[in-house]
Structure 1
């Protein structure tokens, strides 16, 4: 078992805790403890109400750098936090991926990538992560995220895709996976044949799932294939709708410049033909999604989506010069299970990028996201200086 530090330290909130206001605290800062940056955030709320925030800790900036995985834990809804603790170590025993950049292999670097937690109503926390974009490992916590079991290699689940799609690179999430109402664990994944840029293109999106509490994993159908219209479906987020269906919201580089959505009755098979969402512009950046159910007692059933916001432009229009700039992280709300997204409100106007969302038992929304050291709509710099947790009361959401 891997022990996590139990000490809890208080953080300095960036905003007052007055009713209806967003509270922000920085959880991971670039340059600390020998890591150039902390990226690829994930956040979940356990069955006991504890908050787990985790990320990649990179010793250089790139996706193929020397990377570990760190976690912080809160028992008071994200107000105070344990120190950051390494829960996944660089796996030197795993050989380098043959398609990795030449410099990566020459330096003897091993990449740990795309950590994903899945909360189980039984109290367990399941955890998946990848090594070298070529192997996937599973571990489990039975003590509310304090310790995790010895990792088990579950790459055979992905090998089952090969007859249909001969991938060279694999990745889970990023963000978090979900447990369906029937107990099934579902994790979004993407796969690449690695013939394009950064060894991550072209790609397709799918899911893997477990029906026995994480003991075994199986592949689902490819949900979003690579076509000229969809173009490189990759980092995907998953949510179960109020009627029990499962929705994937997919990053892609298609010419429509919009998010891609497909729906399944069980999170694994029977995916609908992927369709673009008119109101969700795609700035070519990971997004995050969570359901705020009516049972939380803070309003009607809603889907919450976070991503750097761009005003949608006509499908097929040339990509504007600054379209891929990562800033203006915004919260978007749907009241009809994702059919429309008419409500938008800015959470971080300055440089901001990847995010993940979770919901506390009282309906407070948590957003862990990447942002710059500078703040404000005119701030400069890269959005990877820190990972910040925002506590968002339901009353703050756009109406």
Structure 2
């Protein structure tokens, strides 16, 4: 196992629009899911969850091809962090988490800390019905579903259809909807928040939906009773917002707010804030510091405690997304040291050079993070890989332009690992044994 190495010394620059400089560095990564030769079975749409103290759950969709309509069901790999490495169990097919005649898509897990339960949200969509078809018809073919695990992902309950409970009478106004993709969060109040978006039919002519007036809007599903019941917040208004993630941050005089980062067609991300834990968000604003490629792309955001000595902020934000303005290439990791101020975003560190796509971040204690992301040599659909890295504020002589700015360190995966970890890693290991096996990173 290689020791931690410092990869980033200079890419954090000023808070202006990020422009990576110098050669791109490709840190060590571990492939968890790999496309079959010839473009057959493909794994897409990563979702990553850290379950304290030391477990990672890495989810993805298994598809018969790269197309959305060829999704089948979800797959999972469970990882155990031991100091500077994560040992991964084998691929587990969650083929039982399906509804008859439907494909399971968009994994979105969230952890409820008081009960230790993992809630795995997803949508189940009628087979062979595309998102485009649903928008044209103005009728949703998706169902909101959830499964739970009480043993850190070893076993899962039967899939529960929550559509009527959580959406109810609003469903006829939605052409389609989805959760995430990526992780949900538990807020300081205990509320569970699951990011989502819906294509709302704004106008009909003689009862026929007009696709040109059917537009995406982000929102959250939430629970205030540890996941026993679920409701939805209001849709974001003012601009088109799609795939999104949320993070809770301290925001000065406003107290704690929920920060929403959403995909838009405007060539940059949209940001919206909620002061009532996601029931309603203010009007979204464009964030030019975070660019979108021509076709847009999903991105991931997490909040974490600001380091000692940070001024006027309780939390920092970490964000992952392709950095190229035109194509889905060069996956970047951005840090915001003064959220929600757009000027707080630093120049990105390129985690993965070349084709990349969707990603999901997980925050661990002591400034350590995991990232699960789509990448490949010629296509982002070739594999889903994992990287573990740390954030340090001790910049030293090579610190970024803003004084003692953040520096990232990559925690290397096992040398020579080909993504086919032995089943012995997890055979017979109890949650208590996992906890005893944790070695603190310092």
Same fold (TM over 0.5): yes
User: Of 177, 181, 184, which aligns to 1:177?
Assistant: 184
Are 2:242 and 2:262, in contact at CA under 8 Å, matched by a contact in 1?
A: yes
Distance 1:61 1:336 in 2: 38
The alignment yields a C-alpha RMSD, in angstroms, of 2.8
Q: CA shift at 1:295, angstroms?
A: 6.5
Are 2:44 and 2:66, in contact at CA under 8 Å, matched by a contact in 1?
A: no
User: Of 207, 217, 223, which aligns to 1:204?
Assistant: 217
Equivalent residue, structure 2, for 1:8: none
Q: Helix, strand or coil for the counterpart of 2:348?
A: strand
Gaps of 5+ in 2: 8-26, 126-140, 202-208, 394-405, 409-442
Instruction: Tell me the TM-score normalized by structure 1.
Output: 0.78
User: Of 274, 277, 286, which aligns to 2:298?
Assistant: 286
Equivalent residue, structure 2, for 1:20: 6
Are 1:245 and 1:265, in contact at CA under 8 Å, matched by a contact in 2?
A: yes
Alignment of 1:57-136 (within 5 A): 57-76=62-81, 79-89=86-96, 91=98, 93-94=100-101, 110-122=102-114, 123-132=116-125, 134-136=142-144
User: Of 130, 134, 137, which aligns to 2:145?
Assistant: 137
Q: Deviations along 1:177-230, whole A, 9 cap, x unmatched?
A: 000001100011111258799x9x63111111001111110010112x3x5xx3
User: Which range moved further: 242-251 or 71-80?
Assistant: 71-80
Distance 2:210 2:333 in 1: 32
Change (3 A) 1:204 1:252: same
Distance 1:387 1:181 in 2: 31
Q: Helix, strand or coil for the counterpart of 1:64?
A: helix
Equivalent residue, structure 1, for 2:340: 338
Are 2:193 and 2:222, in contact at CA under 8 Å, matched by a contact in 1?
A: yes
Change (3 A) 1:368 1:182: same
User: Which range moved further: 64-73 or 337-346?
Assistant: 337-346
Equivalent residue, structure 2, for 1:359: 363
Are 2:332 and 2:349, in contact at CA under 8 Å, matched by a contact in 1?
A: yes
Q: CA shift at 1:88, angstroms?
A: 4.4
Q: CA shift at 1:362, angstroms?
A: 3.0
Which is bigger in relative contact order (C-alpha 8 A, separation at least 6)?
Answer: 2
Q: Deviations along 1:44-72, whole A, 9 cap, x unmatched?
A: 11133211111111112211114210111
Aligned length: 341
User: Of 259, 262, 268, which aligns to 1:258?
Assistant: 268
Structure number with the higher helix fraction is: 2
Instruction: Tell me the TM-score normalized by structure 2.
Output: 0.71
Larger-gyration structure (1/2): 2
Gaps of 5+ in 1: 1-12, 95-109, 312-322, 375-380
Q: CA shift at 1:35, angstroms?
A: 5.7
